[in-house]
Structure 1
Amino acid sequence: MALHVPKAPGFAQMLKEGARHYTGLEEAVVRNIIACKEFAQSVRSAYGPNGMNKMVINHIEKQFVTSDAATIMRELDVEHPAAKLMIMGSQMQDSEVGDGTNFVVILAGALLEHSEELIHLGVTPTEIAEGFEKALDKCLEILPNLVCYTIKDYRNVEEVTKGIKTSIQSKQYGNEDFLAGLVAKACVSIIPEDTTFNVDNVRICKVLGSGLLNSQVVQGMVFKRQIEGEVTKVEKAQIAVFSCAVDIMQTETKGTVLIKTADELMNFSRGEENLLELQIKSIADAGAKVLVAGAKFGDMAMHYINKYGLMAVRLNSKFDLRRLCKTVGATCLPRLTAPTAQELGYADIVCVEELGDTPVVSFKLSGKESRLSTIVIRGSTDNYMDDVERAIDDGVNTFKGISRDGRFLPGAGAVEAELAIQLIKYADTLPGLEQYAVRKFASALEGFPKALADNSGHRSSVALQKVLEAHQNGRKNVGIDIESESAVCDVLEKNILDLYQCKYWGLKYAVGAATTILRVDQIIMAKRAGGPKARQPQGSDDES
């Protein structure tokens, strides 16, 4: 006779066996805080221009070597639900501003770390969360008064370079002048008159070999491909774009043909050949000099393309076809017909160039009306070029921010130090327990100049003391100097500027993530779906 074993009382009796349930301060709140704190500390050492690189190997064993927090978090499969909340805040920052992902995680982690001390002292998580929200409101009130530089004309390459430089510097320290110049040139040249700037319009093409300083901006598009035909360069080119294959059309019906003589065989295939020749001749007569197709070129078609002196380029990606149409102003045709004058695109030069031993096809527009620009990155290894691409991506996103709101705050930890000092003064005016949370918020902000000093090899407590002392004496723009022995400098003189929008949203998302995690007092994890894990495929006998 089977004995009936009663389930444990409480939540466990409602859920399937194997479900986990944590509740209360010690089990839920503190456990969440510890997980987030660990995660934030690992990303913290990657903060700033001298931040350490992390080597991340993702689930398909692709290797990344980078100090970019967004990439580290995207490629790590984080399981912990509370740490995931922090990552979501950081991803929102990435989609809103495109930079400052590390800021969000470090601040959220520091807030939680400091709130753990308050919880042990007996302050409730709700009071801490309310205190953090009050501190955030105060910070957002102070921020506009700290603006130290504004870009009014975002078509001025010099000004834009100055604004972009800091965001690139944090990833590619030492190459920021060259890269900021490239990004500014690429962005300013394609800004539309009336509509907003689209980040997607700056393309990146990575070509292995040579050095970073041989990177360049091309007005138009560059593809790492070979061409199909014999013509390698066309000037003032009219371009016909097709999404289909350039080949003999297959007939709809199947039939059997009885051929008795050699002449009949010759005449039978001649009909198809003539039709194909007519199609390609009509495209050439329409004025097209370059044929771009989204699928293969047949051998017979290539014969006629060479006969009429056309250049043939094949692009496998429909997104590349779409972007090329946008760049050269062409219409993508679904079948092989002669294009009208409106459907043809135009490029000043279409040519094949060899960069190192890599052939690339360039569609160049030297006129003003270029809609897309491509930054061709050169570098010694793929990993290095990937990192440069991430720096350029941050620069392009910063430019997008400048085109919306050109205000800048002092960088290098100056803003955080000023906010920390003002928050401590504000905490003295609060009557309740929230004042402790506001003080801890100030301590969390002090962590940024401290992290910059730590990562640069300065004694962080001494450097932080110097910065706070300068701020108390009314010098709002003093931050950490990562180069000199003195460890502090006036950031305006060094042109270290952070985008206002980046700090504004970063503070909001970090506090949002931290208060959400603090207010969680129960974790209920259902039993995982699925049976036992599938067995791994066995290696071959040779390996064993």
Structure 2
Amino acid sequence: MAAHVPKPPGYLQMLTSGARYFSGLEEVVYRNIEACKELSQSLRATYGPSGLNKLVVSHLQKILVTGDSSTVLREYQIEHPAANMLVLAMKMQEEEVGDGRTLVLLLAGSLLDRAGSLLRSGLSVPEVIKGYCQGCQRALEVLDELCCGQLEAPLDEGAVANTVRTPIMSKQCGYEGPLSQLVARSCVVVCSGGHGVFDPDLVRVCKVLGAGVGDSVVLGGMAFKKEAESLVTSVRDARVAVYSCPFELSRPETKGTVLLQGPADMLGFGDGEERLMEAQVRALLQAGVTVLVVGGKVGDLALHYADQHQLMVVRLHSRHELTRLAKAVGATPLLKLGTPSPEELGNCDRVYLQEVGSTQLVVFEQEKGAPAVATILLRGPLHGLQDQLEEAIRDGVSTYRSLGLDPRLVPGAGATEVELALRVAAHGASCPSLEQYAIQEYARSFQDVAEALVRNAGDQEQQVIARLYAAHQEGHRNLGFDMESGGTDLLDAAEAGIWDPLLVKRSAIRLATNAAVTVLSVDQIIMAKKSGGPKPRGDNPNWDEPPDHID
């Protein structure tokens, strides 16, 4: 009689061996909420101008000191599926508007934390989700009413510097003055040419170690930290040809054999290669090429004839940089070495080699008209500081792009969050159904964001938030937290020039709510068995010792 093999009861009997299954509030919803809450609290201290940095050691043992939430999460390598939903929401925020990633994480974490309290109080998951959706709709309506200004002159460096100052200050407090001027000048330089929709990738950052941040400059064109391959170091009114292939004679893909019967054949074979290479260089000169940019190896014979005919040769290792340079000079990247047509050549006012500090730079500078690409030559005494400054510059450039899509501004310094908390809570109190509790908790999530801003500045958040509530109830909706006074005074954020783009706030509220609702709507977790065989057996540390017994 065969032995009876018992099967696991319930849902697991339909799954393969090794699969796992979780269901219910305790096993799924509360665990997901706890994971997202811990992730949000781990990065709460990085929010705001006074936020702290994280020291992260990557899997390659590289040490990073950064306060950028996306950089920290990229090195975390999170595996929890619910926490990954918040990470995906932050990535979507970065792709859409480029800033406000930490706001998405804090708001979504607070919403889920308060949803757990509502569920333990007796509300059902659908009621909480419905209340959150109503609160989000009301918050977006109120947000449109809080507009306190807009960027009216996108080509005015002073106006642009004032609008991008706040997002830069949230990353690098103390350097917002020079950085905002650099960002404004580079963005205006690119947009002045009328190249269509502004692309943040057209503003490039070249970090050169040494000097101070105030010594940074904006170049109309591109700069690369490398030396020219040829002896020619400066060309004016250059005609630039861009190739993504090596600058040498083409080699066959298959191996061949050449039979040489004497010294004359040997010399003839070498002379043939030289004549062919010289003819290729002469063809480039006749086409008007004075600067040659290649993405592959530069042969010795090709470099010899380039120097002989005064042709400047620059080699770039990055395919992405090669494409951007071609766009900057108006050239067409060519895949094969040959004679280019006049339409495939680019123009550059000046190409030269310059030494900045102890670093050699090859600069492609457009002195006439508006260049298609601008480069911020960023100086600084430390590599870590330069990396943090580059993150702040990227946020400022992305803010300029979002202002091009929607120029409206809302007050910063926590004023918008407190006003949203008041108005959404009042809307929830007027609702007769059970969703009013979820709407009011949704409103308190904005208060949590403002409290994080005050707490990171080192002040008593309860006292400051109470004063902000009192001021906003009296109708002063632009009043925010004054970080410089230590919380003793409140300031008018609109008059102080502390603004946030309305598009960034709107996108953050929408994505945070969608992420929280998605996590709450999960009622089952089904995990299949991991693929692959058993783990490999480790080395035996006692390989040189004889066994205890022999069978």
> TM over 0.5: same fold?
yes
Contact 2:162–2:497 (CA under 8 A) maintained in structure 1: yes
Alignment partners' CA distance in 2, 1:219 and 1:536: 58
Deviation at 1:344, TM superposition (A): 2.1
The residue type equivalent to 1:66 in the other structure is T
Seq. identity, %: 41
Report if the CA contact (8 A) 1:39-1:83 is conserved. yes
1:522 aligns with 2:531: no
Taking the aligned partners of 2:250 and 2:504, their CA distance within structure 1 comes to: 54
Q: Which residue of 1 aligns with 2:480?
A: 479
Secondary structure of the residue that 1:21 maps to in structure 2? strand
Partners of 1:50 and 1:455 within 8 A in 2? yes
CA shift at 1:177, angstroms?
Answer: 1.3
Kindly state the Cα deviation for residue 301 of structure 1 after the two structures are TM-superposed.
1.4
Q: Provide the residue aligned with 1:58 in structure 2.
A: 58
Matched, 1:501 2:503: yes
Deviation at 1:56, TM superposition (A): 2.1
Deviation at 1:181, TM superposition (A): 0.8
2:232 touches 2:312 (CA, 8 Å); kept in 1? yes
Residue 459 of structure 2 aligns with which residue?
458
Structure 1: distance between partners of 2:202 and 2:478: 35
Partner Cα separation in structure 2 for residue 118 and residue 256 of structure 1: 83
After TM superposition, list the pairs within 5 Å mapping 1:435-450 onto structure 2: 435-450=436-451
**Equivalent residue number for residue 183 of structure 1:** 183
1:311-322 to 2 correspondences below 5 Å: 311-322=312-323
C-alpha distance in structure 2 between counterparts of 1:168 and 1:537, whole Å: 52
Deviates more, 1:69-78 or 1:413-422: 69-78
Is the 2:280–2:338 Cα contact (8 Å) retained in structure 1? yes
The answer to whether residue 154 in structure 2 is matched with residue 154 in structure 1 is yes
Gapped regions of structure 2 (runs ≥ 5): 542-551
SS at match of 1:136: helix
CA distance in 2, matches of 1:288, 1:215: 32
Superposition deviation, residue 285 in structure 1: 3.0
Q: Aligned with 1:110: secondary structure?
A: helix
Q: Report which stretch shifted further, 64-73 or 175-184.
A: 64-73
1:346 aligns to 2:339 (yes or no): no
In 1, distance between residues paired with 2:276 and 2:298? 16
Residue aligning to 2:374:
373
Relative to structure 2, which stretch is displaced further, 425-434 or 530-539? Answer: 530-539
Q: C-alpha offsets along residues 289-320 of structure 1, whole Å, 9 cap, x if unaligned?
A: 21111111211111111111111111122222
Paired AA for residue 94 in structure 2 = D
Residue 491 of structure 1: how far off its partner (Å): 0.9
Cα distance, 1:27 vs. partner?
Answer: 1.9
Q: Is the 8 A contact 2:28 2:524 kept in 1?
A: yes
Q: Does 1:532 align with 2:534?
A: yes
Q: How many angstroms does 1:249 deviate by?
A: 3.5
State yes or no: 1:490 paired with 2:511: no
Does residue 407 of structure 2 align to residue 406 of structure 1? yes
- TM-superposed deviation, 1:74: 2.2
- 1:201-240 matches, cutoff 5 A: 201-240=202-241
For this pair of structures, how many residues does the alignment match? 538
Closer, same or farther: CA 515–333 of 1 in aligned 2, 3 Å: closer
Using the TM superposition, give the Cα deviation of residue 145 of structure 1 relative to its aligned residue in structure 2, in angstroms.
0.8
Label 1:47 to 1:487 Cα distance change in 2 as closer, same or farther (>3 A): farther
Q: Name the CA distance, whole Å, in 2 between partners of 1:350 and 1:492.
A: 44
Counterparts of 1:70-149 in structure 2, within 5 Å, are 70-149=70-149
Distance 1:57 1:4, change over 3 A: farther
Q: How does 1:244-283 map to 2 (within 5 A)?
A: 244-250=245-251, 254-260=256-262, 262-283=263-284
Partner of 2:549: none
Q: Which runs of 5+ in 1 are unaligned?
A: 540-544
Question: How far does the alpha carbon of each residue in 1:97-154 deviate from its partner, in whole angstroms, 9 at most, with x for none?
Answer: 1110111110011011111111111111211111111111111111111000111221
CA 1:377/1:466 → structure 2, altered by over 3 Å: closer, same or farther? same
Q: 1:18 to 1:340 in 2, by over 3 A?
A: closer
Q: Which amino acid aligns with 2:261?
A: I
| Cα separation, 2, equivalents of 1:59 and 1:84 | 19
In structure 2, relative to structure 1, the CA distance for the partners of 1:253 and 1:7 (3 Å cut) is: closer
**What is the CA distance between 1:2 and its match in structure 2?**
6.9
Deviates more, 1:155-164 or 1:237-246: 237-246
The equivalent residue for 1:169 is 169
| Alpha-carbon distance in structure 1 between the residues aligned to 2:183 and 2:14 | 58
Contact 1:453/1:487, CA 8 A, preserved across alignment: no
Q: Deviations over 1:378-413 (max 9, x none)?
A: 223322222111111111111111111100000111
CA RMSD between the two structures: 2.0
Kindly indicate whether residue 196 of structure 2 is the aligned counterpart of residue 195 of structure 1: yes
2:344 partner SS:
coil
Structure 2 residue 45 is the aligned partner of structure 1 residue 18 = no
- Separation (CA, whole Å) in 2 of partners of 1:114 and 1:436: 10
- Matched to 2:210, the amino acid is G
> Following TM superposition, by how much is the alpha carbon of 1:267 offset from its aligned partner in structure 2, in angstroms?
3.5
Structure 1 letter corresponding to 2:185: K
Mark the CA change 1:87 to 1:535 in structure 2 (over 3 Å): closer, same or farther.
Answer: farther
CA distance in 1, matches of 2:115, 2:265: 90
1:304 aligns with 2:310: no
What residue is the counterpart of 2:392 in the other structure? 391
Question: Alignment partner of 1:300: what SS?
Answer: helix
1:253, distance to aligned residue in structure 2 (A): 8.0
Distance 2:511 2:343 in 1: 47
- Aligned AA (2:73): M
Mapped pair 1:9 → 2:20: no
> When the two structures are superposed, what TM-score results if normalisation uses the length of structure 1?
0.95
Aligned pair in 2 of structure 1 residues 254, 521: CA closer, same or farther (>3 Å)?
Answer: closer
Distance in 1, matches of 2:92 and 2:219, equals 31
CA contact under 8 A between 2:429 and 2:440: conserved in structure 1? no
2:171 & 2:444 partners in 1: Cα distance? 26
Change (3 A) 1:18 1:267: closer
**CA apart distance, 1:282:** 2.4
Asked if structure 1 preserves the Cα contact closer than 8 Å seen for 2:195 and 2:372, the reply is no
Question: CA deviation digits over 1:312-369, x for unaligned, max 9?
Answer: 1111222222211111112223333333333221111111112222211110001223
**For 1:538 and 1:283, how far apart are their aligned partners in 2?**
64
> How much has 1:538 moved relative to structure 2?
11
Verify the 8 A CA contact 1:23 1:522 in the aligned structure 2: yes
**1:337–1:194: structure 2 CA closer, same or farther, 3 Å change rule?**
closer
- State the distance in 1 between where 2:337 and 2:138 align: 64
* Deviation of the 1:215 alpha carbon: 1.8
- CA–CA distance in 2 between the matches of 1:121 and 1:514? 18
Secondary structure of the equivalent of 1:333? coil
Moved more, 165-174 or 51-60: 51-60
1:40 is matched with: 40
Q: Secondary structure at the match of 1:493?
A: helix
